[in-house]
Amino acid sequence: MDATRLFEIPYYQLKNAPQTKAIGHKLGKDWVFWSTQQFVDEVNKVSLGLLELGVQPGDKIAILSYKNRPEWNVVDIGLQQVGAIGVPVYPTISPREYEYIFNDAGVKYAFVSLDGPGDLLKKVRDAKPNIPTLEEIFTFDKIDDAPYWKDIFREGDLSEVEARKANVKTDDLATLIYTSGTTGNPKGVMLTHKNILSNIEKTRPRLPLAAGDKALSFLPLCHVFERVVSYVYMSVGVNIYYTGTDNLGGEGGDLQEVKPHFFTTVPRLLEKVYEKIYNKGLTLTGLKKKLFFWALDLTDDYAYDKPVGGLKGKIADKLIFSKWRAALGGNIKGIVTGAAACPAKMARVFSAAGVPIREGYGLTETSPVLTVSHFDKGGALLGTVGLPLENVTLKLDAEGGDYREGEGEILAKGPNIMQGYYNKPDKTAEVMTADGWFRTGDIGRFVNDSNGTKFLKITGRKKALLKTSGGKYVAPEPIEKRFKEEFLIEQIMVVGENKKFVSALIVPAAQALKDWCDNNEVTCTLHTSPSNPTMQCISKETLQNEKVRAMYDKAIKEINPNFSHIEQIKKFELLSDPWDVTTGEMTPTMKVKRRVIREKFKGAIDGIYNV
């Protein structure tokens, strides 16, 4: 691909692989699509409209939506063509954070979706009086009391648009993405056209995509991971089907309706699919149940490039694994997970069943991909996040930290590294070395496969290290990652700072625990979370049941031997309500806010340690 600016990608598709269903989403029960030509035409209408509004090169324009939709991409490309800078904003953040981001960036216009809870317009309107730069708010959904996004559409002579496009350089700022952060105000990551295009160029060959393939997209476009993947889809000519996580699974879900060839996801969604498969296996009887768990046991020895073979593999595939593939549509060439650590068990089970799972790693500051596994032979190793992109250099810095042998903080260099944090030179200096290396804040080591190829393994987060009262350092994330492979655990956070031993706060997986209770003569009631009606909670009475606590205690004791004595969980507390963005315990990218949880559940932690 010879593009040097992001807005050239749709034109590349139009020239090389034009599609009749280039990009679409569901309106009600019907799919609505834009062809490549229609998409480009609407992009130009937006660009002309923005010129009439007086948008100048460098002006900031925000885009907010709960669900992915083609309008998001049309505005994204349309504003780039006139030299404006897109500011994608997470829909779930607080009005205070909206006010902070809009003021820090100096946002001039905002495009807002009214889907989801429908509160985005109100949030931005409530913040507008305190945002002097914000001139107008447009909505993607037509209502009486707000300007409609198509009201700005203009047609005609594109000469001024072409002149603006010609003046946009590959090193110009393309987008300003505010990282959620676990503490403090968000930081605006400055990414150029070159930053992101360099990532697209080297990521694209690693994905099993071809023109005309179908991809489901449900991770938020405001996150750089899915946004860059959407650019990759466009460059290849993949048909993009936007949907929501609530529409994916089950009978008649979008996975079975669309039958996609590819999608990206966060590990938790795979875990939920696995839970449903596992729980369905528990309901089987007789020979069917024996066959199910026999097939599941076959996956224990699976490794990439070593399929479950022979007669056993053929029997398992025909009777069991084929049904798993059918549940995901039956056409999956591959799935890439990101944003959080993928439990090795998930990658192993699905890949063994003919649904190839690969993991990638990166940060907003790195555009985002640093490493991703190949789908070709020799390109992946279970338990790792893959190989560095060809234009990315990684090294481990073991100075100034308490690391195991071979470990260190992961440092990165390449054309994908951000230009810095907007308006925050001091914060930029904290993460950039004098000779141009970006400090990821993640701890890792390199692992060799049987051919001596070095794969990156993430072993922890530098700032997440806790120190026991005995002076021993513990990295919580690898422990949490392993325990989340237990399908009865929805969320977990390891605690133990300045304590004699390590413990854990655990949020059970509501439906999985309900199924277990029903099979073990334990009364279990679920209720809707008061803060998020889409989430279920377990009653406190159920969590205090002796059988339930004994079951979790047994699971913990079975997993503990995977860790050193100091890392093993000695005590735990079960929590009723899931942690969520809306209640403040999670970032929009679903990372745990450790300080918030420690403060919010101080009583539970004190109870563990008898304080």
The answer on 487 and 426 residing in a single domain is no
* 1 is a domain residue: no
The answer on 253 and 273 residing in a single domain is no
Between the alpha carbon of residue 388 and those of residues 348, 399, 411, the distances in Å are 21, 22, 12
What pLDDT, on a 0 to 100 scale, did the predictor assign at position 610? Answer: 82
Region at 162 (left for phi over 0; alpha for psi -120 to 50; beta for the rest)? alpha
DSSP bridge partners of 137? 110
The answer on 282 and 235 residing in a single domain is no
Residues 470-528: pLDDT tens digits? Answer: 767 788 888 998 898 888 999 999 999 878 889 999 999 988 899 899 999 999 888 88
From CA 318, how far away is CA 260, in angstroms rounded?
21
Between the alpha carbon of residue 499 and those of residues 79, 389, 477, 503, 580, the distances in Å are 53, 41, 18, 9, 27
Residues 129-144: pLDDT tens digits? Answer: 999 999 999 999 999 9
Domain that holds residue 311: 267-462
Q: What is this structure's pTM?
A: 0.83
What element of type H or E holds 277?
A: helix 267-283
The answer on 295 and 222 residing in a single domain is no
- C-alpha closest to that of 7 among 53, 75, 89, 88: 75
Is the pLDDT assigned to residue 530 strictly greater than 80? no
> In the listed set 432, 462, 492, which residue is the last one of a domain according to the structure?
462
> What CATH number should be reported for the domain holding residue 454?
3.40.50.12780
> In the listed set 258, 277, 309, which residue is the last one of a domain according to the structure?
258
How much of the chain, in percent, has pLDDT values that exceed 90? Answer: 63
* 249 is a domain residue: yes
Q: Taking each helix axis from N to C terminus, what angle separates 344-352 and 267-283, rounded to the nearest 10 degrees?
A: 60
The answer on 294 and 340 residing in a single domain is yes
What pLDDT, on a 0 to 100 scale, did the predictor assign at position 335? Answer: 96
Confidence class for position 249, pLDDT limits 50, 70, 90 = low
* 300 is a domain residue: yes
CB within 8 Å of 405: residues ≥ 6 apart: none
Domains of the chain: total: 3
Helices (H), 376-456: 425-431
Is the pLDDT assigned to residue 197 strictly greater than 80? yes
> What CATH number should be reported for the domain holding residue 577?
3.30.300.30
Cβ–Cβ < 8 Å for 360, 385: yes
The answer on 470 and 457 residing in a single domain is no
* 507 is a domain residue: yes
* 352 is a domain residue: yes
The answer on 523 and 433 residing in a single domain is no
From CA 71, how far away is CA 369, in angstroms rounded?
25
The answer on 578 and 452 residing in a single domain is no
Cβ–Cβ < 8 Å for 80, 50: no
From CA 544, how far away is CA 513, in angstroms rounded?
13
- Please compute the mean of the pLDDT values over residues 67-78 and round it to a whole number: 97
The answer on 195 and 135 residing in a single domain is yes
> In the listed set 206, 230, 258, which residue is the last one of a domain according to the structure?
258
- At 41, give phi and psi (nearest 5°): -60, -45
Q: How many helices (H) and strands (E) does the chain have?
A: 21, 27
* 580 is a domain residue: yes
From CA 193, how far away is CA 202, in angstroms rounded?
15
The answer on 191 and 79 residing in a single domain is yes
Mean pLDDT of the chain: 91
Considering only 254-263, 358-367, 526-535, 536-545, which range has the smallest mean pLDDT?
526-535
* 571 is a domain residue: yes
pLDDT: which is higher, 307 or 91: 91
* 400 is a domain residue: yes
- At 314, give phi and psi (nearest 5°): -65, -40
The answer on 451 and 545 residing in a single domain is no
The answer on 343 and 230 residing in a single domain is no
